Amino acid sequence: MQKRPDLIALGRKIRAVREDKGFSQEGFSVEVGLDRAYYGGIERGERNVAAVNLMKMAQALQVEVGELFPALDELAALSKRRTK
């Protein structure tokens, strides 16, 4: 399955915030009650993570949910690239 650029960008943002907050991948997956391998897939952009888990992660990281997402203009640029 070809990875989606928007999910890759989302995974990168989540990883950056997690690292910024000093969590290891292992520690954070336990903190939010997610399987370690599943969580790793989210950061690699392989999982279309759903709202409940996104809200759980934001609360565990103590950031607004929006901080886990790419900015609108980045999403627009990614969409253009996909349609070429």
Residues in contact with a second copy by the rule CB under 8 A:
4, 6-7, 10, 48-52, 54-55, 58-59, 62-67, 69-72, 75-76, 79
Please state the closest distance from residue 73 (CB atom) to a second copy, in A.
10
Q: Is 63 exposed, middle or buried (0-12, 13-18, 19+ CB in 10 A)?
A: middle
Q: With respect to a second copy, which residue has the nearer C-beta, 16 or 76?
A: 76
Q: Which two tokens stand for residue 13?
A: 């943002």
Q: With respect to a second copy, which residue has the nearer C-beta, 29 or 70?
A: 70
Please state the closest distance from residue 22 (CB atom) to a second copy, in A.
18
Q: With respect to a second copy, which residue has the nearer C-beta, 26 or 55?
A: 55
**Sign of torsion over alpha carbons 47, 48, 53, 58:** positive
Q: Which two tokens stand for residue 25?
A: 């991948």
Q: Radius of gyration of the chain from Cα atoms?
A: 13
